[in-house]
Amino acid sequence: MSAAETDAADTPAPTRAWYLRLMRDPSALVAALFLLAVCVVAVAAPVLSPHDPFASSRSVMVPPVWAETGSWTHPLGTDGQGRDILSRIFWGTRLTLVIGLVSVGIGGFLGSLLGLLAAFRPGLDPWVMRLVDVMLSFPAILLGLALVAVLGPGAGPVIVALAIATVPDCARIARSIAVSVMNQEYIEAGRALGLPARQLFLRYLLRNCVSSIMIFISLRFGQVILIGAALSFLGLGARPPTAELGMMAAQGRDFLLFAPHIAVIPSVMIFLIVLTANVLGDALRDVLDPRLRS
């Protein structure tokens, strides 16, 4: 470490890179590392899985390795059909993350666009806000139920429902951030220079809103994962034989008495993903944009 870096660590200056300030918070650091590991596991699930996640075997309900009768062949034990839980956790995490990321990504993009447009073109504002009000009156889970009723159970309808449910909240937050940016002098300056609207929107407005919006979206991520998992738990989301964490918990429900690990392990995995996402989101917000605190 050079002298300059030591100095920077001793005197916290506001100009220090945001990720350095973030890493000073031990819980944020742990959360970031855990989520990184989860992403690696999700991407590399086909390589990392010790067994075929879908193949049943005769050794059903094998307890995890820390139990007396556990073994290293199946470090987390097997489920009611003799499938290796560790491998299924890897694959289940993959699907759960895909559902969460895709729906938050699509919904966040559409919602931010609506919110930014509403702030940029005040004529559009009342229309966008009415639309948002109407959308807000459908709780995500009801949208999910309705879509599944029409399209049949599956990951697709769940993603669509969660994406739609993300739009209105995101539009609201994006609008409020964009309105305060629109009042800044540099927007006025850009207008005075005669910049075309497209450039004003992309280079002046969007660039100054994007980090705050991203923080809000990251705070939504945990909630979306929870709702998606709940729908899968009810049998309305991902369908067997794929592995999804919520569905795995549901499959363990019947064995709760004899082999609680089958339901507990995937549930704890969901809990840890959502918890770390929330902790990291909170820390990011505190570091990058304390305005969002309320």
Partner 1 sequence: MMTQVLNRLIISIPVLFGVLLLGFCLLILVPGDPAIVLAGPTATPEVVEAIRQEMGLDEPVLVQFLSYLGRVLQGDLGRSLISNKTVVSELGAAVVPTLELMVACLIWSIPLGIALGTLAAVFRGRIIDRAIMAVSVAGVSLPIFFICLMMIHFVGVQWRLLPFIGRGGPLWTVEGLRHIALPALSLGAIFIGPVARMTRSSVLEVLKLDHVRTARAKGLSETQVILRHGLRNALIPVVTLVGLQAGYLVGGAVVTESIFSYPGLGRLAVGAILSSDFPLAQGAILILALGFILINMVVDILYALLDPRVQA
What residues from 21 to 60 belong to the interface with partner 1 (CB under 8 A)? none
Smaller CB distance to partner 1: residue 30 or 44? 30
Q: Which stretch binds partner 1 (CB under 8 A): 11-19, 51-59, 150-158, 206-214?
A: 150-158
d(CA 283, CA 232): 29
Report the SS3 class of residue 84: strand
The answer to whether the beta carbons of residues 192 and 269 sit under 8 Å apart is: no
Question: Using CA atoms, how far apart are residues 152 and 102, in angstroms rounded to an integer?
Answer: 20
- Locate 122 and state its tokens: 């005040």
CB of 194 to partner 1, least distance (A): 39
Report how far residue 94's alpha carbon sits from residue 48's, in angstroms, rounded to the nearest whole number: 12
Listing DSSP states for 238-264 in one string gives SPTTS--HHHHHHHHGGGTTT-THHHH
As a whole number of Å, the CA-based R_g of the chain is 23
Q: Does 176 bind partner 1 (CB under 8 A)?
A: no
Q: How far apart are the first and last CA of the chain?
A: 38
129 near partner 1, rule: CB under 8 A: no
Nearer to partner 1, 206 or 217 (CB): 217
Q: How far is the CB of 224 from partner 1 (least distance, A)?
A: 12
Nearest approach, Cβ of residue 231 and partner 1 (Å): 9
* Candidate residues 64, 212, 282, 283; the one interacting with partner 1 per rule CB under 8 A: 282
Per-residue binder mask for partner 1 (CB under 8 A), 186-225, x = binder: ------------------------------------x---
Compute how many residues bind partner 1; rule: CB under 8 A: 45
Among 67, 124, 149, 202, binds partner 1 (CB under 8 A): 149
Contact region for partner 1 (CB under 8 A) — 71-79, 117-125, 191-199, 251-259? 251-259
Of the candidates 262, 284, 290, which has an alpha carbon nearest to the alpha carbon of residue 80?
Answer: 262
Q: Please check whether residue 228 is in contact with residue 103, taking contact to mean a CB–CB distance below 8 angstroms.
A: yes
According to CB under 8 A, which one of 30, 146, 197, 202 is a site residue for partner 1?
Answer: 146
274 binds partner 1 (CB under 8 A): yes
- Does the footprint of partner 1 cover residue 234 (CB under 8 A)? yes
Binding residue (CB under 8 A) for partner 1 from 145, 195, 214, 292: 145
**Cβ neighbours of 282 (radius 10 Å):** 18
CA–CA gap between residue 266 and residue 83 (Å, rounded): 14
45-59: string of b/e by CB count within 10 Å (b at 16+)?
beeebebebeeeeee
The residues of the shown chain that bind partner 1, judged by CB under 8 A, are: 130, 133-134, 137-142, 145-146, 148-150, 152-153, 222, 226-227, 229-230, 233-236, 246, 249-250, 253, 256-257, 260, 263-264, 267-268, 270-271, 274-275, 278-279, 282, 293-294
